[in-house]
Amino acid sequence: MLLAGSFFHVFVVAKPPRRRASQHLRIRRTSAAEYGRGPGEVPVREDERARPLSPYGATKLAGTRIVELARAAGLPAVVLRVFNPVGPGAPGHTLPGRAAAELARAVRERDAVRLGGLDAVRDFVDADDVAAAVLAAAVGPLPAHGVVNVGSGTALPARELVRTLVDVSGARVRVEEGGGGSARSADVPWQQADISTATTAWDWRPRTPLAASLEGLWRAA
């Protein structure tokens, strides 16, 4: 049985055919916000110490700790630590969702796209690739480490994501950056996933180009 919430909040209970009927795999989908600032301008591995900088990240990490306790007690469980998802339905508090909504407004009003600072570097991963990772976790072997990164494995400046979104939309608008940007962007200037655990354990890897992800986001805006 597979139970899933919204794209951005997923908790899965699965009974894969490889396991006994009494063994239900628990899959928690959480956020890279658990890492906090991370190691700097290098991909972050799952064994990096989690140092969340926000109440959101701390709450997510608390849930991860519960799953780790369950694993220690012998229950099959895994945490998917998802980086920055892109796809239709991205909420407005995320950069992709905010950028798509602002671009739609700019097109309607024949105005410029106005966003905060876009200096942050992020790892953006397609929503369908995240779903594929959940399925891979449900039917694949249980990894030795209780946490598995899910991302593209690529560091991309936020400015480049917005530029690509404008390109795929076909809109002739200019992008104006305001000062500052979000507090999280300043606190976490660089974020990139090391996805080797998911690749090794499940032969999972992201397959959707960023432009295709942004096309879907734009069509739903």
For the chain, give every domain's residue range.
Answer: 11-220
For this structure, is 35 an active site residue? no
Compute the mean pLDDT over every residue in the chain, rounded to the nearest whole number.
Answer: 87
pTM for the model stands at 0.86
**158-181 pLDDT tens trace:** 999 999 999 999 999 999 998 655
Spot the catalytic one: 56, 119, 139, 143. 56
Q: What CATH number does the domain located at 11-220 have? A: 3.40.50.720
- What is the pLDDT confidence band of residue 25, given thresholds at 50, 70 and 90? confident
Listed residue (14, 1, 8, 172) closest to 78, CA to CA:
14
Burial of 217: CB neighbours in 10 Å, binned 0-12, 13-18, 19+:
buried
